[in-house]
Amino acid sequence: MCGIVGIVSEREVSSTLLDAIKRLEYRGYDSVGMVCIADGVLSTKKDIGKIEEVEKKVNFTALKGTIGMAHSRWATHGGVSKRNAHPHEDCNGNISLVHNGIIENHNELKAELQKKGHHFTSDTDTEVIAHLIEENFTGDILETTRKALCRLEGSYAIGVICTKKDDELIAARKESPLVIGLGERENYIASDIPAILPFTKKIIFLENGEIARLTKEKVEVFDLKGNPVTKTIETIDWGAKQAEKQGYPHFMLKEISEQPTAISDTIGDRMTEHDILLDEEIQKAIPNAAGLKRLIVVACGTSWHAGLIGEFMLEELAKIPTEVEYASEFRYRDPIITEGTAVIAVSQSGETADTIAAIREAKKKGAKVISIVNVEGSTIARESDAVLFTHAGPEIGVASTKAFTAQLTLIYLLTIYLAKKRGLLPQPQISNRIRDIRKIPHQIQEILENQDSIKRLAELFFRHTNALYLGRGINYPIALEGALKLKEVSYLHAEGYPAAEMKHGPIALIDNKMPVVVIATKDNRTYTKVLSNIAEVKARGGIVIAIALKGDKEIEEKVDFVLSIPENSYILTPLLAVIPLQLFAYYVSVLKGKDPDKPVNLAKSVTVE
Ligand code: AGP
């Protein structure tokens, strides 16, 4: 999941490229490079390391030229090294290319090109594209690139510039995201909108199999057969400021803190005091809610955890049999899609390769697809029959936080909507459940305003090396999510487990060195069972941190630490219980001297399989 930016302008571009690529660093930070053309000569600077480190070493803004590209890399083929950093060139230094994706037939192409005398300077799959263009160069860089792309198998978002046509920036995509920005006498390409939002709000979303030629005056788009394609110019409605830290030390803390707003904005005008208004948004996928026989949720990572919670909601309130599948497993399992089945894809980025493949498989088998996505214009949004957008705003931190609670909010609204359509929720209950979700933003704010106790707990535990997270019922997925947050930003091994399952194995791990975090919110379902699980941990000398309801005195004498949350309905507990776990993970990461926004080996959007 690399980051790409490119600009063709009438002015010098290197400082703007640097500004833009910094906004994409969450997409990959193994290495970074920049290339510009001035006086018919390619000049490239690149090295391994994060942007601010490499910038000090190479001084990107010394590059001259009114056309250029920059790239931040998350290594797939070829280790993390300077020679493997993008951009990559042809043999004679006339063509330069940046790429996000995987060229699956690169070995075969490389052998063919080496036989023709091409010499390679990197171990990447990407470099074959530069030599393929060189081998077929006709003088027309668009035509030559288009023909080269027809030889590729796999995924790509690319930018290409050439000294022979140094006023043209070529861009193309297949599976990996790429947008075009329209400026004043300059035009842009970028992997994600935040990179170019300070310069323009006018965006064209390139589709799979399209190729574009940008000059400073105009943008033309074609299909891979060379036919012109007419594109719509979209205007982005959120500002660049939202994609910046705005005084927070890290995006992760900012985005955790934005959850009250993200939830309110996601609810938006989809709810009145007594009704849920989703007809327009989901009619195309579910014209007949009463006839819905089965739901399959496909997602990855944190979004998959949101799906697990959705299963509880949908089965309990809407009485619809619901299965939650890892998208990466679903797509290879030849799933049975029966009549009356709809598929719900949950994704923050809308670009996760496995989830894209899963919805394509589902559609091939005749299912209608609704997606719950945070990024407008994303592939999943565009390929679904219906889209419910979370309005969490741009989520830059690699660890998903505000998008997660926004996803849960939307799934909750969908559940009530479907339950009502299926005649399962009488009006008073609908009004009560609407009242419950309306309380959530304020209740999250209350937790946020009392986060010192969470920070103090992180100070006690950040030197530990393992943790176990336990939960039951609708809180079991929150145990998984809490563990994932801690793992991905602090590199401390953490495992989420159903609380009752602990005695079937993990209890062997319990000792006084491993904190056990238990979601123990008082309810009339599993609370007493959870207390028994806590007793089992304490009986073996374990340390227990409980997430409990404010005012629960009983739990206090049974555990070592309590992090309290306000009370709401059972089915909304996850939206509150997850907040202390997000903050705990964040503070442990910072106390360990890590960068929670850019965890090692991770990237914000996994656009490769
Ligand atoms: C979440 O904190 C992780 N960064 C990761 O698990 C993420 O949820 C997963 O890659 C799915 O991404 P998506 O929601 O953009 O599809």
pLDDT one-digit tens code per residue, 493-514: 999 999 999 889 988 999 998 9
Closest C-alpha to 220, from 254, 167, 190, 180: 180
Cβ pair 604, 97 in contact under 8 A: no
Question: 424: Cβ–Cβ under 8 A, 6 or more apart, which residues?
Answer: 317, 318, 319
Residue 576 sits at φ, ψ, to 5 deg, of -100, -45
Using DSSP's 3-state secondary structure scheme, residue 142 falls into helix
Secondary structure (DSSP) of 60-107: GGG---SEEEEEEE--SSS-SSTTTSSPEE-TTS-EEEEEES-BTTHH
The span from the CA of 103 to the CA of 110, in Å, is 11
User: Is the pLDDT at 609 greater than 80, yes or no?
Assistant: no
Greatest mean pLDDT range, 277-286, 307-316, 442-451: 307-316
User: Is the pLDDT at 242 greater than 80, yes or no?
Assistant: no
User: How would you classify the pairing of strands 41-48 and 67-73?
Assistant: unpaired
Residues of the chain above pLDDT 70, percent: 99
How far away, in angstroms, is 605 Cα from ligand 1 center? Answer: 7
Give the pLDDT of residue 380.
95
User: Is the pLDDT at 28 greater than 80, yes or no?
Assistant: no
Is the CB–ligand 1 distance for residue 302 below 6 Å?
A: yes
Give the pLDDT of residue 271.
94
CA-atom Rg of the chain in angstroms: 25
Residue 351 sits at φ, ψ, to 5 deg, of -130, 5
How far away, in angstroms, is 301 Cα from ligand 1 center? Answer: 5
Nearest CA to ligand 1 atom 5: 301
87 preceded by a cis bond (ω within 30 of 0):
yes
Residues of the chain above pLDDT 90, percent: 82
Nearest CA to ligand 1 atom 10: 301
The span from the CA of 45 to the CA of 33, in Å, is 6
Task: Out of 1, 74, 175, 303, give the residue to mutate to test ligand 1, the one with the largest number of ligand atoms within 8 Å of its CB.
Answer: 303
Let me know the angle formed at the C-alpha of 29 by 381 and 14, rounded to the nearest 5 degrees: 90
User: Is the pLDDT at 46 greater than 70, yes or no?
Assistant: yes
Ligand 1 atom nearest residue 302's Cα: 8
Integer CA distances (angstroms), 65 to 4, 32, 37, in order: 18, 19, 5
Cβ pair 371, 344 in contact under 8 A: yes
Q: Encode 393-405: b = buried (16+ Cβ within 10 Å), e = exposed.
A: bbbbbbbbbbbbb
Give the 3-state DSSP-derived string for 151-188, with helices as H, strands as E and coil as C: CCCECEEEEEEEHHHCCCEEEEEECCCCEEEECCCEEE
Is the CB–ligand 1 distance for residue 347 below 6 Å?
A: yes
Average pLDDT over residues 22-26: 79
567 or 177: whose pLDDT is higher? 567
Is the CB–ligand 1 distance for residue 355 below 6 Å?
A: yes
pLDDT category, 374, cuts 50, 70, 90? very high
Give the pLDDT of residue 24.
82
pLDDT in tens, 315-347: 999 999 999 999 999 989 889 999 999 999 999
Catalytic residues: 2, 604
**Average predicted confidence (pLDDT) for the chain:** 93
Tell if the pTM clears 0.85, that is, is over it.
Answer: no
Task: Out of 304, 349, 374, give the residue to mutate to test ligand 1, the one with the largest number of ligand atoms within 8 Å of its CB.
Answer: 349
Cβ pair 72, 605 in contact under 8 A: no
Token pair, residue 381, equals 């949004």
pLDDT in tens, 123-157: 999 999 999 999 999 999 999 999 999 999 998 99
Residue 316 sits at φ, ψ, to 5 deg, of -70, -45
User: Is the pLDDT at 257 greater than 80, yes or no?
Assistant: yes
Give the pLDDT of residue 130.
97
pLDDT category, 59, cuts 50, 70, 90? very high
Nearest CA to ligand 1 atom 6: 301
How far away, in angstroms, is 269 Cα from ligand 1 center? Answer: 27
User: Is the pLDDT at 308 greater than 90, yes or no?
Assistant: yes
Nearest CA to ligand 1 atom 4: 399
User: How would you classify the pairing of strands 202-205 and 179-182?
Assistant: antiparallel
Burial of 33 (0-12, 13-18, 19+ CB in 10 A): buried
The span from the CA of 343 to the CA of 295, in Å, is 6
How far away, in angstroms, is 174 Cα from ligand 1 center? Answer: 21
The span from the CA of 340 to the CA of 414, in Å, is 17
Give the pLDDT of residue 382.
92
Using DSSP's 3-state secondary structure scheme, residue 331 falls into coil
pLDDT in tens, 437-460: 999 999 999 999 889 999 999 999
* Helix, strand, coil percentages for the chain (3-state, nearest 5): 40, 25, 40
Token pair, residue 467, equals 């943790």
Is the CB–ligand 1 distance for residue 607 below 6 Å?
A: no
Using DSSP's 3-state secondary structure scheme, residue 438 falls into helix
Ligand 1 atom nearest residue 299's Cα: 16
pLDDT in tens, 381-438: 999 999 999 999 999 899 999 999 999 999 999 999 999 999 999 999 999 999 999 9
How far away, in angstroms, is 79 Cα from ligand 1 center? Answer: 23
Integer CA distances (angstroms), 190 to 71, 72, 145, 205, 354, in order: 10, 11, 18, 10, 22
Give the pLDDT of residue 89.
97
How far away, in angstroms, is 216 Cα from ligand 1 center? Answer: 36
Question: 341: Cβ–Cβ under 8 A, 6 or more apart, which residues?
Answer: 293, 294, 295, 296, 367
Give the pLDDT of residue 608.
67
Is the CB–ligand 1 distance for residue 126 below 6 Å?
A: no
